[in-house]
Amino acid sequence: MSQDIKKQTQNLKSFFKKKILSITNEKSEITVTFDQKNIIPALKSLRDKPEFNFKQLIDLCGVDYQEYKFAALDGKRFCVVYHLLSLKNNTRLRVKVFADDDEFPLFPTSTTIWPNADWYEREAFDLFGLMFVDHPDLRRLLTDYGFVGHPFRKDFPMIGKVEVRYDPTLKRVIYEPVSIEERNNVPRLIRDEGIHRG
C-alpha cells in the first residue's frame, strides 16, 4: 500500500510539476492542492489520463477555514475539497482548491467533468455561499425556500437567525428573530500536545 502511495505521489509530481501548490501524504491519503486557474485542466487530466483514471467524483464539499488555528493556505478562508475515486486503479485522491477572495468566493465549476458535481456544488453554494462560475443551475438545495445566509459558515450561529411560528391574528406562518440563547455545555479546547493526555 505504501509503495502504491509513493508511486502515485511520484506520478502526480511528474505529471503536474509546478502546477501543484502542495502535496501531502497523511495516513495513506494523498492531498493535492491546485490553484484556481489550474484546477479545471488538472481535474480533467486526473479523470482522463490512464495513470490517474479518476472516473468517479465521490464527494465535493466546502470548508470554511475562518477559525482554523493553523492558517490553511496563506490564511485563505474558503476551500473546496474533491474526493476522487479510481475504480480501475483502486486509488483515492483528495484535491483542494482555495478561493482567492474571502468576501466573494469564486470557483470554477466541475459539472462539465463529473455530472454529479451539479448537486454537490449546489450544496456548497447553499451552505457556504461558494459561487461556482458557469454552473448551469446554481440554486439553493438543502435550506428553506427564501432562506437568508449560508448556515455552515463559521460566523453563522448554530441556533440560526430566525424562527417560525403561526400567527393566529395574521393567519399565516411568520418569521421572527430567534428568541432562544445559544447553549454550549462543553467548551472547545485545543491542547498543544495533540491527543489529550490527562
- Residues lying near other proteins in the complex (CB under 8 A): 26-27, 29, 31, 55-59, 61, 63-64, 67-70, 81, 83, 87, 90, 92, 94, 114-116, 118-120, 140-144, 151-152, 158, 184, 186, 188-192, 194-198
In angstroms, give the least distance from the CB of 27 to other proteins: 6
* Separation of CA 97 from chain center: 9
- Our CA dihedral for 141, 147, 152, 154, rounded to 10 degrees, sits at 160
In angstroms, give the least distance from the CB of 169 to other proteins: 27
Q: Based on CB atoms, which residue is closest to other proteins, 37 or 66?
A: 66
In angstroms, give the least distance from the CB of 140 to other proteins: 8
How far apart are alpha carbons 100 and 106 in whole angstroms?
A: 8
Q: Based on CB atoms, which residue is closest to other proteins, 103 or 192?
A: 192
Nearest in space to 80 (alpha carbons), one of 41, 114, 110, 42: 110
Q: Based on CB atoms, which residue is closest to other proteins, 29 or 134?
A: 29
Nearest in space to 120 (alpha carbons), one of 83, 73, 77: 83
How far apart are alpha carbons 88 and 134 in whole angstroms?
A: 30
